[in-house]
Chain A
Amino acid sequence: MIYLDYSATTPVSYEVQDTISKVTKEFIGNANSIHALGKKSVDLLESATKQIADIFGVNSSEIIYTSGATEANNMALIGVSMAHHRKGKHIIVSKLEHPSIYAICDYLKSIGFEISYVENDAEGLIDFEDLKNKIREDTILVSICAVNSELGIRQPLKMIRQIIKKENIATIFHSDITQAIGKVSVNFHDVDLASMSAHKIFGPKGIGFLYKSSMIKITPLLYGSGKTNYLNPGTPPLPLIAALSKSVRLANNDLEKRERFISLLNEKIINSLSKYPNIKINKTKYSIPHILNISVLNVMPETLIHALDKHEIYLSTNTACASGESSSSVMAVYNDTKRAKHTIRISLSHVTTTEEINKFLTIFKDEYEKLSSVK
């Protein structure tokens, strides 16, 4: 099997699997209980949260567990809208967001909020002038992802924050950092709110967190009991939380070394595929090497993916969460419908091997040449 869809999800690493099974077996108490088993659980919960907070230089109370990035995005966008709607009803997002952000925006639009979409330049970078012009007195929130999930374009969060706060100090800055975490370094002090998910960093599915700066007020979406966090009440899923904490720790080891290795693999694929005139490499100077997007203009991407499936090679057309549609991110950067309809995303990780890439390229060429000759 050759798995090249790490940006859709990753397998759970052995170390993290160990944690899940150990915590499931040994920590049976509810972290909200006052007896010794409850205390044991709450101790582990606190240590796990502190480990995450320490890695990112924030306070434990600023980490709110969620079921993943989609829930964290909901908590952030709707939570801010509910808490600050008296100050304004204007929200700005980029054209390179994850589909969940647009779905939330559609909902917010339906209840009276106004959504603006900030332009980006030909390299995919946020158009700073446009952002500046779009921020108004009633802009309560700007949401821009740290790394785009289809093209891997990385945005300079610090600069964006400076522009936002200069125009309107009260505007809150949220960033979906799901595709950035474990791939490039992220500074939480550049944002007010940030969403992430464990299953993109070799952790389990069903857990993630929202970072919420203690300076920001949001309205809870969920109500219930439990003392661990007012924004996410109920019994904390301890095995998943411990696993999340461990995957965050492991993901932040050797970031740069891993990135250098992945860059080599990325270049190898580009060198090999760019000789085909009908394959376009959708890469700008801000793309991170972990996500490589190509457009195969003369073959339907689904056909190619099914052909590769037979060889146990797995990759996506575009982001798994928008499968079947044309790529909005490729459209936003290249403004080319055909290119946007024919995308394939090859996503790499530090566990990808050179042999895998060699084998993938051989089979890919074989299948691609066969399919293009059919046409």
Chain B
Amino acid sequence: MKKIIILKYGELTTKKDNINYFLKTLKNNINIILKDINHTITYDFGRMFIDVKSEDIEKTVEKLKCIFGIHEIIVGYISEDKSLDNIKTNILSLIKDKNFKTFKVFTKRSDKTFPLNSMEISKSLGGYILRNIPNIQVDIHNPELLVSAEIRKNEVLYYFNGLSGLGGYPVGTLGKGLLMLSGGIDSPVAGYLAIKRGVKIEAIYFESPPHTSESAKDKVIKLARLLAKYNTTVKLHVINFTRIQETILKNIPHEYLITIMRRMMYRISAIIAHNSKCNILINGESIGQVASQTLTSMRVINEVIKMPVIRPVACFDKLEIIDLAKKIGTYDISTLPYEDCCTIFVPEHPIINPSSIKAIEYEELIPFKDLIHEAIKNHEVISVDVEEDREYEDIL
């Protein structure tokens, strides 16, 4: 018997006319993630089949666990001999080492020339299993082991309980968004949640050398690399924010430092997003967490741009965000102790209820349009792949 990987789609099946677009995107995403493994993909509206060499199955399943748009990953078996006796012995050999107390047989018969109908096949297979494995029972409502057999035109397909996929929509099916990635705990999680809903992300990071270190930037690249696992790759825009930050520090009352700084970041992000054909901004703001994330602050900061800002973790508690960060593996990187540009120059008492009028007034004290123009003109773009560059290959 040959092994084959079967994928079941999640929410995709609710799409009607454009399901083909969703499936094609899913297939492309899988092709990218499996570029190092020899594979062929076939699909219909119900499932996708991935054929790889049997020694690559495990590796492939591991990679598929990071792909959105998959509800379930199942390793199935195909045999060409369609006689009932052969089906019985095949199933028995596949399940005899499994640990279960209750089971159910589910049969599908797309080959209508097969002499028995689905119910009759299920009955016959169920009886055979009961006779050959001691101390098990049939439970049609809540079986521990679901034994599926599909009689197809040229082959029989067997499969059992699968692994949960990530769900969500295939990345890219909903277009692109720009993630404001800071190096903290929240923004990578926000990015992950946006990717889950089919948004392909690019990321923007603000650095302030020499106030922030090369290590802080490295940390953000590492976070982007983790997100690339779900996003196929991540294009990272790095903005040198030093001049803007120093100008703000020199000229603007300190309680408004953060408000004005965030307004500048929003303006720059919106322009970069527009230039990169991203429809939305995404960030890790969570209501009430810090002074710039009170509702008033959010309004005053947000009003400088027209582009929608999605805040996936806005209503999460910090502990809920941390749990998710640990699950996706960003937590250990986010908690590395490097200053980023939001944590330097923090005033002792930042304003929590800023006023728009004052913000506009203060901004007139600095040539912010020129500064923004300069920052965007000189911005650096890094393409971050899942695999790290093997920089020290010759040494190691």
A245-B213 in contact given A43-B391, A47-B391 (Cβ < 8 Å): no
**B396 touching A19, Cβ below 8 Å:** yes
A147 to B215, CA, bound (A): 42
A246 to B394, CA, bound (A): 10
Give the chain B neighbours of A47 by CB distance below 8 A.
Answer: 388, 390-392, 396
A44 to B390, CA, bound (A): 10
**B395 touching A19, Cβ below 8 Å:** yes
Q: Is B120 an interface residue (CB 8 A)?
A: no
Give the chain A neighbours of B323 by CB distance below 8 A.
Answer: none
Give the chain A neighbours of B395 by CB distance below 8 A.
Answer: 19, 22-23, 44, 242, 246
User: Which residues of chain A from 7 to 24 have any CB-CB distance to chain B below 8 Å in the complex?
Assistant: 19, 22-23
Q: Is B380 an interface residue (CB 8 A)?
A: no
User: Quick one: CB contact mask for B199-217 with A, threshold 8 Å, 1 for yes?
Assistant: 0000000000000011100
Contact of B396 among A36, A61, A249 (CB under 8 A): A249
User: Which residues of chain B from 341 to 396 have any CB-CB distance to chain A below 8 Å in the complex?
Assistant: 388, 390-392, 395-396
A298 to B75, CA, bound (A): 61
A23 to B213, CA, bound (A): 24
**B396 touching A246, Cβ below 8 Å:** yes
Interface residues on A, range: 10 to 19
Give the chain B neighbours of A50 by CB distance below 8 A.
Answer: 388
- Closest beta carbon of chain A to B332's beta carbon, Å: 8
Q: Is A39 an interface residue (CB 8 A)?
A: yes
B336 (CB) vs chain A CBs: closest residue: A227
Q: Is A100 an interface residue (CB 8 A)?
A: no
User: Quick one: CB contact mask for A214-246 with B, threshold 8 Å, 1 for yes?
Assistant: 000000000000000000000000000010011
B213 (CB) vs chain A CBs: closest residue: A34
Q: Is A120 an interface residue (CB 8 A)?
A: no
Interface size on B, residues (CB 8 A): 11
B393 (CB) vs chain A CBs: closest residue: A47
User: Quick one: CB contact mask for A33-49 with B, threshold 8 Å, 1 for yes?
Assistant: 01010010001100110
- Closest beta carbon of chain B to A187's beta carbon, Å: 13
- Closest beta carbon of chain A to B5's beta carbon, Å: 20
Q: Is A51 an interface residue (CB 8 A)?
A: yes
User: Quick one: CB contact mask for A290-302 with B, threshold 8 Å, 1 for yes?
Assistant: 0000000000000
User: Which residues of chain B from 197 to 245 have any CB-CB distance to chain A below 8 Å in the complex?
Assistant: 213-215, 218
**B392 touching A36, Cβ below 8 Å:** no
- Closest beta carbon of chain B to A265's beta carbon, Å: 29
**B396 touching A51, Cβ below 8 Å:** yes
A148 to B167, CA, bound (A): 48
A20 (CB) vs chain B CBs: closest residue: B395
- Closest beta carbon of chain A to B88's beta carbon, Å: 31
A36 to B209, CA, bound (A): 13
**B215 touching A39, Cβ below 8 Å:** yes
Give the chain A neighbours of B218 by CB distance below 8 A.
Answer: 39
Give the chain B neighbours of A19 by CB distance below 8 A.
Answer: 395-396
User: Which residues of chain A from 246 to 268 have any CB-CB distance to chain B below 8 Å in the complex?
Assistant: 246, 249
Give the chain A neighbours of B215 by CB distance below 8 A.
Answer: 34, 39
Give the chain B neighbours of A34 by CB distance below 8 A.
Answer: 213, 215
- Closest beta carbon of chain A to B258's beta carbon, Å: 26
The interface residues of chain A, by DSSP majority, are classed as helix
Give the chain B neighbours of A51 by CB distance below 8 A.
Answer: 396
A27 (CB) vs chain B CBs: closest residue: B395
A51 to B391, CA, bound (A): 12
A61 to B390, CA, bound (A): 19
A245 to B396, CA, bound (A): 6
- Closest beta carbon of chain B to A223's beta carbon, Å: 20
**B213 touching A44, Cβ below 8 Å:** no
**A44 touching B214, Cβ below 8 Å:** no
A242 to B391, CA, bound (A): 13
A22 to B393, CA, bound (A): 13
Give the chain B neighbours of A61 by CB distance below 8 A.
Answer: 332
A39 to B218, CA, bound (A): 10
Give the chain A neighbours of B392 by CB distance below 8 A.
Answer: 43-44, 47-48, 242
A51 to B395, CA, bound (A): 12
Give the chain B neighbours of A23 by CB distance below 8 A.
Answer: 395
A306 to B213, CA, bound (A): 61
Give the chain B neighbours of A39 by CB distance below 8 A.
Answer: 214-215, 218
A246 to B392, CA, bound (A): 11
- Closest beta carbon of chain B to A46's beta carbon, Å: 10
Give the chain A neighbours of B213 by CB distance below 8 A.
Answer: 34
- Closest beta carbon of chain B to A331's beta carbon, Å: 40
A39 to B134, CA, bound (A): 62
Give the chain A neighbours of B390 by CB distance below 8 A.
Answer: 47
A177 to B96, CA, bound (A): 34
Give the chain A neighbours of B391 by CB distance below 8 A.
Answer: 43, 47
B390 (CB) vs chain A CBs: closest residue: A47
- Closest beta carbon of chain B to A290's beta carbon, Å: 25
Give the chain A neighbours of B214 by CB distance below 8 A.
Answer: 36, 39
- Closest beta carbon of chain A to B263's beta carbon, Å: 31
User: Quick one: CB contact mask for B56-80 with A, threshold 8 Å, 1 for yes?
Assistant: 0000000000000000000000000
Give the chain B neighbours of A36 by CB distance below 8 A.
Answer: 214
Give the chain B neighbours of A48 by CB distance below 8 A.
Answer: 392, 396
B394 (CB) vs chain A CBs: closest residue: A22
B338 (CB) vs chain A CBs: closest residue: A34
A245 to B388, CA, bound (A): 17
Give the chain A neighbours of B396 by CB distance below 8 A.
Answer: 19, 44, 47-48, 51, 242, 245-246, 249
Give the chain B neighbours of A246 by CB distance below 8 A.
Answer: 395-396
A61 to B332, CA, bound (A): 10
B337 (CB) vs chain A CBs: closest residue: A227
A307 to B215, CA, bound (A): 59
User: Which residues of chain A from 290 to 345 have any CB-CB distance to chain B below 8 Å in the complex?
Assistant: none
A50 to B388, CA, bound (A): 11
Give the chain A neighbours of B388 by CB distance below 8 A.
Answer: 47, 50
Interface contacts beyond A39-B215, A43-B391: sample of 10 additional A-B pairs, CB < 8 Å, sorted by A: A19-B396, A39-B218, A43-B392, A44-B396, A47-B388, A47-B390, A47-B391, A48-B396, A50-B388, A242-B395
Q: List 24 A-B contacts (CB under 8 A).
A: A19-B396, A34-B213, A36-B214, A39-B214, A39-B218, A43-B391, A44-B392, A44-B395, A44-B396, A47-B388, A47-B390, A47-B391, A47-B396, A48-B392, A48-B396, A50-B388, A51-B396, A61-B332, A242-B392, A242-B395, A242-B396, A245-B396, A246-B395, A246-B396
Going nearest first, the 5 A-B pairs with the smallest beta carbon separation are A47-B392, A245-B396, A246-B396, A51-B396, A19-B395
